[in-house]
């Protein structure tokens, strides 16, 4: 994507597709529609500071499977994330009565000192689910409201950091593992791109896109073809579901060679939600949330 106008046009087209499917609630689609320009601007304005190279994993450690940094040490723009919380709460408020109630509960808890947003954001960074899980219980009408705020507020800074860290990966870095080589998190989608159909993972934490094996489970590294299956649905050309009988997980794979359009993984994930429903009906599990925290 080279300019904001092209990005906006692409997003608008994808949102139109998502609306026409009539699967996801309008409140959710409108929420994402309003969040996109906010996070796009924030991405350009994010300030992140990289640790010294010596403080990151060595090339040897990375060849053995270590990520470049642990999530706890991953650069982020915490000040920006905290600044984004109020406008995100306003957008949440406008996306339906349940969401509005959740936003109001969160605002009151922040004002009363019952919710420390910085601590909530750190919990998400550290992958420590206890704090966020407690808020899911307190917000029954919109249980993922705080996950959404934390994920969306941190995303621009994390993506800015990933863009700076990517070039530090060693040349010929192997791709035998499914996790993100920058932060060690799981991918929420995989993509096929290029003439030879190379496969890439899209990180559920930092958004980085990285090579993975073409035929292997990105969650448990199973590579026995007898344990790996895939299925497609005629209505969704260019999307397939890769399932693994060893770990019981599935991941959607978007074939951008067939889709004849530019990729915008967070929206393409939403646009193919029918396939998530299908995979889950067959008993397979998705180990990651969407790029929006729900």
By the 10 Å C-beta count (0-12 exposed, 13-18 middle, 19+ buried), 218 is classed as buried
What is the smallest separation between the CB atom of 90 and Zn ion, expressed in angstroms?
29
Q: Give the one residue of 182, 202, 243, 270 binding Zn ion; rule: CB under 5 A.
A: 182
Our finding on whether 11 is near Zn ion (CB under 5 A) is: no
Distance of alpha carbon 206 from alpha carbon 121, whole angstroms: 14
| 57-92: b (≥16 Cβ within 10 Å) or e | bebeebeeebbbbebeebbbbbebbeebbeebbebb
Our finding on whether 217 is near Zn ion (CB under 5 A) is: yes
- 96 vs 156 by CB, closer to Zn ion: 156
For residue 135, give both structure tokens: 């808020």
- 77 vs 115 by CB, closer to Zn ion: 77
- 169 vs 278 by CB, closer to Zn ion: 169
Question: Which range in 6-14, 107-115, 222-230, 282-290 contacts Zn ion by CB under 5 A?
Answer: 222-230
Distance of alpha carbon 68 from alpha carbon 181, whole angstroms: 6
- 203 vs 212 by CB, closer to Zn ion: 203
String of DSSP letters for 258-269: HH-S---HHHHH
Question: Which range in 13-21, 128-136, 205-213, 278-286 contacts Zn ion by CB under 5 A?
Answer: 205-213
The footprint of Zn ion on residues 236-265 (CB under 5 A) is: 244, 246-247
- 188 vs 208 by CB, closer to Zn ion: 208
CA distances, 42 to each of 19, 36, 37, 76, 290 (Å): 26, 10, 9, 12, 19
What is the smallest separation between the CB atom of 262 and Zn ion, expressed in angstroms?
21
Cβ atoms 277, 254 nearer than 8 A: no
What is the smallest separation between the CB atom of 223 and Zn ion, expressed in angstroms?
10
Our finding on whether 29 is near Zn ion (CB under 5 A) is: no
Continuous segment of H or E residues that includes residue 257: helix 256-259
Q: Give the one residue of 135, 200, 208, 250 binding Zn ion; rule: CB under 5 A.
A: 208
Name which of 262, 240, 264 is nearest 252 in CA terms. 240
By the 10 Å C-beta count (0-12 exposed, 13-18 middle, 19+ buried), 114 is classed as exposed
Whose structure tokens read 């994808």?
14
What is the smallest separation between the CB atom of 74 and Zn ion, expressed in angstroms?
8
- 49 vs 195 by CB, closer to Zn ion: 49
- 135 vs 205 by CB, closer to Zn ion: 205
What is the smallest separation between the CB atom of 251 and Zn ion, expressed in angstroms?
9
Binding-site ranges for Zn ion (CB under 5 A): 180, 182-183, 185, 203, 205-206, 208, 217, 219-220, 222, 244, 246-247
């Amino acid at each position: 994507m080279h300019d904001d106008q092209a990005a906006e046009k692409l997003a608008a087209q994808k949102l139109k597709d998502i609306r026409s499917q009539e699967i996801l609630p309008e409140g959710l689609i409108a929420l994402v529609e309003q969040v996109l320009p906010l996070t796009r601007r924030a991405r350009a304005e994010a300030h992140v500071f990289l640790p010294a190279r010596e403080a990151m994993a060595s090339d040897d450690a990375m060849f053995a499977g270590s990520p470049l940094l642990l999530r706890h040490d991953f650069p982020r723009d915490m000040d920006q994330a905290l600044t984004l919380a109020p406008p995100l709460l306003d957008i949440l408020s406008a996306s339906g009565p349940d969401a509005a109630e959740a936003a109001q509960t969160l605002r009151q808890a922040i004002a009363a000192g019952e919710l420390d947003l910085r601590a909530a954001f750190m919990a998400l960074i550290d992958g420590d689910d206890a704090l966020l899980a407690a808020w899911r219980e307190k917000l029954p009408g919109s249980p993922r409201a705080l996950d959404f705020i934390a994920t969306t507020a941190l995303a621009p800074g994390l993506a800015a950091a990933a863009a700076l860290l990517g070039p530090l990966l060693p040349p010929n870095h192997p791709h035998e593992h499914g996790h993100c080589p920058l932060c060690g998190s799981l991918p929420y989608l995989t993509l096929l791109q290029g003439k030879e159909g190379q496969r890439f993972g899209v990180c559920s934490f930092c958004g980085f896109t990285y090579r993975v094996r073409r035929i292997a489970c990105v969650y448990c590294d199973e590579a026995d073809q007898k344990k790996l299956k895939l299925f497609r649905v005629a209505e969704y050309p260019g999307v397939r579901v890769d399932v693994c009988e060893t770990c019981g997980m599935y991941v959607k794979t978007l074939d951008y060679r067939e889709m004849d359009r530019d990729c915008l993984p967070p929206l393409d994930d939403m646009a193919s939600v029918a396939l998530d429903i299908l995979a889950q009906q067959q008993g397979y599990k998705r180990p990651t949330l969407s790029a929006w925290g729900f």
